[in-house]
Amino acid sequence: MRASNKLAIMCSFAVVIFCITVVLMYKNGHQKIAKYKQHTKEVYSDIQFKGKVLKIHKIERGGRVYGMMCIKLDYANIDSFYRFDKMSCLKICNSIVSLPTGSISIENDRHVRPILNATYIEVNMDNSNQRVFIDSSGNRTAQDLYYQSSNLKEVDLQLCDECK
C-alpha cells in the first residue's frame, strides 16, 4: 500500500473518531440538562418566594466567579428549606434565602447583568418555573429557575447568615 493511501485512511479514521466524539458529547450534554430539569422539578417545583436582594457574594473558584444571592423575604410559601447536593442547593431560614446565581464572571453578559443589578427577585411565583429579577428602575428580566450548586461548597450557603 502506498504512503498516500495509508495517510488517506488514517485521516478518514481520525475524522470518523472526531465525529463520533462530538455526537457523544452533544448527547451527554442534553442528558445532563434533562436530568437537572427533572431534579429541579422534583425538588423545587412547589417552592415560591419573593423578596429584596440584600447582597450577592462573589465566590472565586476554578478561574470563575460564582454568586450567592442573599434575599430578605417578603413572601414565601414555606417557612424553611435546606438542600445541598451535587446538583443543586437552596437555603431558606429566618426569612433569609441563600440562592445560587451561577457563574457571574462576565459582568456585561446579557444573562448576568440582570442578576447583578437586581434589587428584588420573584422565584417561581404562580408556579411560573422562572426567577424574575427586578432592578431599581422596575425593569423585569425573567430567566429559567436555577438552583445549580456548580462549584459551590455547602459552607457557601452560610454566607447569607450575616445578613439577618
pLDDT digits (tens, 9 = 90+) for 117-150: 999 999 999 999 999 999 999 999 999 988 988 8
Say if residue 39's pLDDT is above 90.
no
- Give the 3-state DSSP-derived string for the chain, with helices as H, strands as E and coil as C: CCHHHHHHHHHHHHHHHHHHHHHHHHHHHHHHHHHHHHHHHHHHCCCCEEEEEEEEEEEEECCEEEEEEEEEEEEECCCCEEEECCCEEEEEECCEEEEEEEECCCCCCCCCHHHHHEEEEEECHHHCCEEEEEECCCCEEEEECCCECCCCCHHHHHHHHHHC
pLDDT at residue number 151: 87
